[in-house]
Amino acid sequence: MGFRLRKTIPLGPLRLHLNQAGRITWGLKIGPWTWSATTRRHTLNTPGPGSVSWPGRRGER
């Protein structure tokens, strides 16, 4: 298990993620719903610990 560094910059509902390799990814977060542009995965946060996610068109990575 490796150690990863990541910085998230929120710009309203848009989130920019910068990782230690210098790669920038983005996604949307509106309330409890989140969408990742990289994996195209939808995630819904549920009350308490946990969440439910659905793979997008690209499927699981």
Q: What is the pLDDT of residues 9-61, one digit of tens each?
A: 999 999 999 988 889 999 999 999 999 998 899 999 999 888 999 987 654 44
Domain ranges of the chain: 6-54
Output the pLDDT for position 5: 87
* pTM for the whole structure: 0.65
Question: Residue 1's pLDDT band (boundaries 50, 70, 90)?
Answer: low
Output the pLDDT for position 30: 94
Residue 42's identity, in one-letter code, is: H
C-alpha torsion angle, residues 19, 21, 23, 25 (rounded to 10): -30
Helices (H), the chain: none
Output the pLDDT for position 55: 86
Output the pLDDT for position 4: 80
